[in-house]
A and B are shown apart, each in its own frame.
Chain A
Amino acid sequence: MEILSKLNSPFLYLLCGGIILFVAVICVVFGVRAYRAGKALGIDVSRMKRVIAASATFAVLPSVGILLGVIALSGSLGTPWPWLRLSVIGALHYETQVAEAAAESVGIGGLSLSGMTGEAFSTIALLMSFCIMWGMVLVIFNGKAYSNRLSASALKPDAAGQGKTGSASFGDSAMTAMFIGLVSAYIASYIGQIVSENGLFTFSGNWLPLAVAVIAALAMLVFLKIREAKNAEWLDSFSVAGSMLIAMTCTIFLAKLM
């Protein structure tokens, strides 16, 4: 128990809280700069405010999910470190896997408080930082060149002499398609989970994720229909969060049927 009190000590809260505060300041600076640049470029202020409102609303439920990750990891790693990892750079599914693998390699068997030592913790913390830093490394050393190349390709006139950001742009279709690919991969994995998770065509896997996705999609469809029928543009800012909330509420009842 002594190790847990050290992992929850004021020093660790101060260290992790300080880094999180620094990142919050960075977010404010980037947000304010973008807002001012948008105003100077003549972008409608009300549209920018809609983006901020929609994004803030959108983020609430996933953030509560991430908070649960902090709680889950706090039993073995204390609270400050998971708080830092999941506020900055980390992602719920990565952090747990890396922490577990790191715990095994330092010889404490798995991620549990019973075998945790100071050395094991600092090694796990280092590995969690090191394993998931590659996006940051690439964006530091190649972000500018990559972004400039993308911008140049978007602005390069095509055979018809049109800039690709114009009506004939494939960029938008490509972005939408990439997102469809991303969503489809996850939804297809839920289908695969039901059908073959416990052996090919056993149909005995967990059906809850697919059911939740379908309910969220149906709720979203209702929101979209209302928005179109009533021309309620304001609904756009809340439709995703609302659909998620409906689906997650239904999950509570569906889980009882399992």
Chain B
Amino acid sequence: MKDNRNTDNQALYGQYLKATHTLGRIMTLLVLLLLLAAPFAIGLFLEAMPNLGAAAKAFLGVGLVYLVSGIVEYLIYVPMLGAGGSYLAFITGNLINMKIPCAINARDIVGVKSGTPENEIVATLSIAASSLVTILVLALGVALMIPLQPILQSPVLQPAFENVVPALFGAMACKYYRSNRVIALIVLGVMSFLFVFVPSLIGSTSMMVIPSGALAIGLAYLSFRRQRKGREGSK
């Protein structure tokens, strides 16, 4: 009975994933086309089309950096977000400062394992809910822009809103550092050393996630192998 149920679930999950990829690719492509077409529609409205030469020049100046960081983000974050979560997250953006911590937090709260159907479902639900909240907050904010602007931009509240990301990473660090103290201490130490001695790297922190993550994964692998050997030895 249990085997039948597992087979049914696997088939169901397979169908779900297949449909998610089809839907995800179509929707992402549509959004991409809309985003690329919008500047031309605005150009028609303003009677001033984009200057393609200037755009190409600027792309060579700054865009290539984003091309590299886009590839890196894709390679790193798809394994964290699963299929449905990835399509949604890349459409809605704000990955580092919201979607990734949000999905990881949700995964942790309900205790699901990576690579499982539960992880796929939880990540998609998490990204969908957080994206809708952002869309709603921004829509309300834009609708109430005139009364809200003096409050949100008041010099008193400004420092609080300028430090949303440090507050987010501080809270998340406590949660994850507690159960991985050695790895956290080494990675934080090495990265601090780099930023202190090469302060120009501070402006490229999003790129520095790569060596930092690689070091953390390397250390986690060593710890994993040691624990596995310990378990095998005790058998």
Contact = CB atoms under 8 A, between A and B. Distances in A.
11 contacts: A56-B130, A59-B137, A61-B167, A65-B97, A92-B97, A106-B58, A123-B51, A137-B70, A139-B28, A171-B115, A191-B195
Contacts of A230: none
B169 A186 contact: yes
Contact of A34 (B39, B84, B149, B191): B84
Contact of A27 (B54, B58, B135): B135
B62 A143 contact: no
A51 B126 contact: yes
A26 B31 contact: yes
Chain A: number of interface residues, binned into ranges: 35 or more
B115 A154 contact: yes
A232 interface: no
Contacts of B90: 89, 135-136, 138-139
Contacts of A79: 142, 145
A193 B201 CA distance: 10
Contact of A105 (B40, B57, B67, B109): B57
B32 A133 contact: yes
Nearest to B37: A129
A137 B73 CA distance: 12
Contacts of A48: 121-122, 125
B7 interface: no
Given A119-B50, A129-B35, A173-B224, A139 B184 contact: no
Chain B: number of interface residues, binned into ranges: 35 or more
Contacts of B62: 97-98, 101-102, 131
Contacts of A201: 196
A91 interface: yes
Given A154-B115, A212-B167, A244-B167, A88 B160 contact: no
B145 A87 contact: no
B114 A126 contact: no
A9 B38 CA distance: 15
Contacts of B12: 37, 40-41
Contacts of B216: 177-178, 180-181, 184
A185 B93 contact: no
Contacts of B197: 196, 200
A59 B152 contact: no
A123 B50 contact: yes
A123 B78 contact: no
Interface string B161-189: 10111111111111111101001100110
Interface in A7-21: 9, 11-12, 15-16, 19-20
Given A184-B191, A196-B196, A210 B166 contact: yes
Interface string B68-95: 0011011010111011101110111111
Interface string B1-36: 000000001001100110111011101111110111
A120 B131 CA distance: 30
Interface string B123-150: 0111111111111011101100100010
A27 B196 contact: no
Contact of A58 (B105, B145, B176, B195): B105
* Chain A CB within 10 A, most for which of B92, B98, B168, B213: B168
Contacts of B159: 208, 251-252, 254-255
B39 A51 contact: no
A11 B149 CA distance: 23
A173 B223 contact: yes
Given A55-B126, A105-B54, A151-B115, 5 more contacts: A86-B94, A122-B42, A139-B25, A182-B213, A184-B173
